[in-house]
Amino acid sequence: MAQLYVVQSADFLFLQRQTQMTPGNLSAHLSKLEDAGYVEITKEFIDRKPHTALALTKKGRDAFKQYRRDIKQIAERLPE
């Protein structure tokens, strides 16, 4: 979610490199995010090669913003 939050869209290989996840593991995570309505997955062919583009939906972007606020509040309550 964090990787997709800072870009309009990204392809599967970019996310795989950034997260250092296996293709199967990343695919499983993305499927769950898609089922929740947080990620839009677009599959197409470019020069006869499969290409998977990923983007956060408005719901996903809003959920990640709330997550960031929640984490910030938790961190602010921690003792130094």
60's tokens: 């996903």
The single residue listed with the structure tokens 């593991």 is 25
The single residue listed with the structure tokens 């997955």 is 41
* CB of 53 closer than 8 Å to CB of 44: yes
- Pairing relationship of beta strands 10-11 and 49-56 according to DSSP bridges: antiparallel
Task: Assess if CATH 3.40.190.10 describes domain 2-77.
Answer: no
Find the mean pLDDT for residues 73-77. 95
Which tens digit of pLDDT belongs to each residue from 36-45?
Answer: 999 999 999 9
Measured CA to CA, the distance from residue 32 to residue 70 in angstroms comes to 21
Q: What pTM does this model have? A: 0.85
Please, which pLDDT band fits residue 29 given cuts at 50, 70 and 90? very high
State which H helix or E strand residue 55 sits in.
strand 49-56
Where do the domains of the chain lie? 2-77
Please, which pLDDT band fits residue 80 given cuts at 50, 70 and 90? confident
